Chains A and B, each alone.
Chain A
Amino acid sequence: AQKVTQAQTEISVVEKEDVTLDCVYETRDTTYYLFWYKQPPSGELVFLIRRNSFDEQNEISGRYSWNFQKSTSSFNFTITASQVVDSAVYFCALSEAGNTGGFKTIFGAGTRLFVKA
């Protein structure tokens, strides 16, 4: 069965600190996709990144970087030099084909990040 675990419920950092958000997933499928979404106070989740199960190349995009390790079923997200605007809830998600066609996406519980000025 699918499962996504974000063990960190809340993280509080001071501006300019680096912060890593952890995500561990479980799946029996060999083909799946992992996502990170950001939910600011407005409520609308915003897509950040997608990784497929065959692509373990890590990525850096500006202040964001992602570390996908299949061996440990982890897909961690790091914000470098955090800013107050990074304060939000961050969700890790796992998507794979559904039993009846289409797909199912399971989200982790989310990690609330507070960045203090």
Chain B
Amino acid sequence: KAGVTQTPRYLIKTRGQQVTLSCSPISGHRSVSWYQQTPGQGLQFLFEYFSETQRNKGNFPGRFSGRQFSNSRSEMNVSTLELGDSALYLCASRAGGFSSSEAFFGQGTRLTVV
């Protein structure tokens, strides 16, 4: 069974640009969550999708958005990039859309904003 796949693995962008990250969950998993990981802030929750609906959102500005497609694949978009957006972005999929479900993580996309 293939794991969670995130593309691209590495990305370098310039301030002001926008970026789209992709996440393909484990087959059959309908819940996808996104997290931002930085040395200073640790792992912070961005949003969670289930069956194409965003159910919860973390404390991030509106520049951060996402969506989920009917095949459960998810994309995350960051517009007007700032230097502080440099981070490892992790995607996690869960079989059930419940708080009890363990998460399966991808290897992440490392975004560097210059």
Query: Are B43 and A98 interface neighbours, CB within 8 A?
Result: no
**6 examples of A-B residue contacts, CB within 8 angstroms:** A42-B107, A45-B92, A50-B102, A96-B99, A102-B48, A103-B55
Main secondary structure of the interface of B (DSSP, over half): strand
Residues of A within 8 A of B88 (CB): 43
- Interface size class on chain B is 20 to 34
Partner of A44, one of B48, B98, B107: B107
A-B residue pair count with CB separations less than 8 angstroms:
73
Q: Counting chain A CB atoms within 10 Å of each CB, which of B50, B56, B58, B108 scores highest?
A: B56
Query: Are A98 and B104 interface neighbours, CB within 8 A?
Result: no
Query: Are A108 and B105 interface neighbours, CB within 8 A?
Result: no
B residues sitting closer than 8 Å to A (CB atoms) are: 3, 31, 33, 35, 42-45, 48, 50, 55-56, 58, 88, 90, 92, 97-100, 102-108
Residues of A within 8 A of B35 (CB): 107
Query: Are A104 and B100 interface neighbours, CB within 8 A?
Result: no
Query: Are B107 and A105 interface neighbours, CB within 8 A?
Result: no
- Interface size class on chain A is 20 to 34
Main secondary structure of the interface of A (DSSP, over half): strand
Residues of B within 8 A of A99 (CB): 56
Q: How far is the CA of A70 from the CA of B105 in the complex (A)?
A: 28
Q: How far is the CA of A52 from the CA of B3 in the complex (A)?
A: 25
Determine whether A95 belongs to the interface, using a CB cutoff of 8 Å to chain B.
yes
A42-B107, A43-B108, A107-B43 given. 5 additional CB < 8 A pairs? A50-B100, A96-B99, A104-B58, A106-B45, A107-B44
Residues of B within 8 A of A50 (CB): 100, 102
Query: Are B56 and A100 interface neighbours, CB within 8 A?
Result: yes
Q: How far is the CA of A110 from the CA of B3 in the complex (A)?
A: 23
Query: Are B99 and A105 interface neighbours, CB within 8 A?
Result: yes
Partner of A101, one of B42, B55, B58, B90: B55
Q: Contacts A47-B104, A91-B43, A110-B43 hold; do A105 and B55 have CB atoms under 8 A apart?
A: no
